Structure 1
Amino acid sequence: MGKNNRQYKDSVFVDLFANDVSCLVDNKIIVLAEHQSTINENMPLRCLQYVARLYEQIQEPKAKYYKSLQKIPTPEFYVFYNGIEQYPSQKILKLSDAYIVKSEEVPLELTVQVLNISTDKANKILMTCKPLEEYSLFVEAVRRHTSLDKKSGFENAIKECIQNDILKEYLQRKSREVINMLLAEYDYDTDIAVQREESLRIGIRQGIAQGFADGSHQKALETARLMKQANCELDFIMQMTGLSIEDIENLSK
């Protein structure tokens, strides 16, 4: 049995709705939609990078050099979220929130509407889009069954959904393809490495905060020692602990 694909929701989502991350609506609006099981506050920047590439694809290469104004489709950005972390039913993310220097007039803005499609949130979009509601129920079934049975969880979730008329036609028609998507390989080592690095950073910040709250210089030294053992860069250790280069170098003596 292959590794469980932690990105299974994206793959099935894309296949189910036959829509990668964009589509033209009435030839006027580009709707960018992405599904996520984890919270990501960087979606405005990701959408900006994506839509720039998209405009390059749909516009004639020479068009941007024309004297007359060239019309382009109006973009709208959406993210569907149904992870296990608590999140409001709707939230607006703005590119300007990431700006280091704030200004009264924002020179470039991009907003993303995040819609929590977890069924316990009773989001209105689930009431108006039956396939999306059934998809959310499918994800919850997968999550529940795989927590109980790592080996057969995917298969059991599919069987339950078919029995309960949840994406029944789709799962009956493409059950084997769905299982293959659920079991698809992904960059496991990179995924784990990122998680460990993020956990380390969080732990370091918590340790530093507690240490300075106690007025403990020793706590910062202990944190720096752990970071050195983890082969962190010297500049990063200085930034995170507030220690001088001499303090850090003396730790090895």
Structure 2
Amino acid sequence: MKTHNRRYKDSVFVDLFSEDEKAKVHFLALYNALHDTDYQSTSILKNIRLKQVLYMSFANDVSYLVDNTIIVLAEHQSTINPNMPLRCLEYVSRLYETLFMSKEKYSRQHLAIPTPEFYVFYNGKQPYNTDTLLQLSDSFTQKQDHYALELSVKVININYDTESRILKRCKPLEQYSLFVDAVRRNIALDREHGFEKAIKECIKKDILKDYLQRKSKEVINMLIGEYDYETDIAVQRAEEREIAFAEGMSKGISQGIERGIEQGAYQTKLETAAAFKRLGIDSAKIAEGTGLTISQVEALN
């Protein structure tokens, strides 16, 4: 595969819905699809995405303040991550910090804060339910009927073959899903030129045509970043499995040795007690000397 300039930190999903010149139009379509609304003006949208450097300089989040009343935090993922509620909690806390000055939080006036919503748009290869709800309380060590803190993240499978309802209601998301499908097919056939071929195929089929015509080079760089990220995550998970297996084997061996020693010591006690019993020594004295119980001693032949 060709080496490209990797100065782009965003994924295609993020660029399409957060950074591109038409990102607000695309996100408004997504918002309408999520809420069954029909807003036409992007003036209700304010991009409040945090500027940060994430893992491997790869950013994957989209966040908007909608009509000053709702914060929508959307994350795109190709791997399943059950810890998204915790990540979203950290993220939205930082967002609230940027929306209100410190002194406002100490005033007597009751602050009105935007209501948050959390979504993960999943398009990984591993099968996953079309709509899944992850909750922060799933990770709590102590289970209760009611929790003082809760956060829910809706995971929506946007793979094109799942026929997700939201794809039919949001054209930009549907086209993005078709684009990802084209990338996967072409990369499987041609690792060297797969990205370029996928872009040409999509332009020909009128899939994200305007976007890809304007930003083909940038898209290639972002795709390389995404695939490098996925590869690195896969390697890390494989290493974690190997470490866990090695630690399990080591622990198992250690436990086996300890068990063997314990069993050997116990067997020695039984043999010693049996010898004393044959000599006619009192069972209570044998038990006291060997550490066995009287019933164990009396059960010996």
TM-score greater than 0.5 by the shorter chain: yes
Alignment equivalent of 2:200, drawn from 156, 159, 184: 159
Q: Secondary structure at the match of 2:216?
A: helix
Q: Secondary structure at the match of 2:111?
A: coil
Paired with 1:69 and 1:244, the residues of 2 have a C-alpha distance of 59
1:200 aligns with 2:242: yes
Instruction: Rate the CA distance shift 1:114–1:4 in 2: closer, same or farther, 3 A.
Output: farther
Q: How does 1:200-239 map to 2 (within 5 A)?
A: 200=242, 203=245, 223-224=249-250, 238=251
Comparing 48-57 with 18-27, greater Cα deviation is found at: 18-27
Paired with 1:246 and 1:67, the residues of 2 have a C-alpha distance of 65
Paired with 2:177 and 2:146, the residues of 1 have a C-alpha distance of 39
Q: How does 1:2-13 map to 2 (within 5 A)?
A: 2=3, 11-13=11-13
Alignment equivalent of 1:57, drawn from 78, 84, 98: 98
Paired with 1:94 and 1:85, the residues of 2 have a C-alpha distance of 21
Q: Secondary structure at the match of 2:144?
A: coil
Comparing 15-24 with 49-58, greater Cα deviation is found at: 15-24
* CA displacement at 1:127 relative to structure 2: 0.7
Comparing 77-86 with 17-26, greater Cα deviation is found at: 17-26
Unaligned stretches of 5+ residues in structure 1: 209-222, 225-237
Comparing 104-113 with 10-19, greater Cα deviation is found at: 10-19
Alignment equivalent of 2:212, drawn from 168, 171, 189: 171
Q: How does 1:29-178 map to 2 (within 5 A)?
A: 29-178=70-219
Aligned position for 1:16: 16
Paired with 2:229 and 2:78, the residues of 1 have a C-alpha distance of 17
Does the 8 Å contact 2:11/2:225 carry over to 1? no
Q: Secondary structure at the match of 1:21?
A: strand
Does the 8 Å contact 2:4/2:221 carry over to 1? no
**Cα deviation code 1:108-142 (max 9, x no counterpart):** 10000000001111111101100100100101111
Paired with 1:46 and 1:73, the residues of 2 have a C-alpha distance of 19
Count of matched residue positions in the alignment of Structure 1 and Structure 2: 216
Instruction: Rate the CA distance shift 1:13–1:45 in 2: closer, same or farther, 3 A.
Output: same
Higher Rg of the two aligned structures: 2
TM-score by length of 1: 0.76
1:180 aligns with 2:221: yes
Give the AA of the match of 1:172: Q
**Cα deviation code 1:200-220 (max 9, x no counterpart):** 256469xx6xxxxxxxxxxxx
Instruction: Rate the CA distance shift 1:142–1:25 in 2: closer, same or farther, 3 A.
Output: same
Does the 8 Å contact 1:4/1:184 carry over to 2? no
Deviation above 3 Å: which 4+ runs of structure 1? 184-193, 201-205, 241-247
CA RMSD of aligned residues (A): 3.0
Q: Secondary structure at the match of 1:62?
A: helix
Q: Secondary structure at the match of 2:113?
A: coil
* CA displacement at 1:198 relative to structure 2: 2.8
* CA displacement at 1:3 relative to structure 2: 7.8
**Cα deviation code 1:80-132 (max 9, x no counterpart):** 00111111110000000001111222111000000000111111110110010
Instruction: Rate the CA distance shift 1:193–1:117 in 2: closer, same or farther, 3 A.
Output: closer
Give the AA of the match of 1:14: V
Does the 8 Å contact 1:36/1:79 carry over to 2? yes
Q: Secondary structure at the match of 2:102?
A: coil
Does the 8 Å contact 2:5/2:221 carry over to 1? no
Among all aligned residue pairs of Structure 1 and Structure 2, give the percentage whose two residues are the same amino acid.
54
Paired with 2:216 and 2:17, the residues of 1 have a C-alpha distance of 16
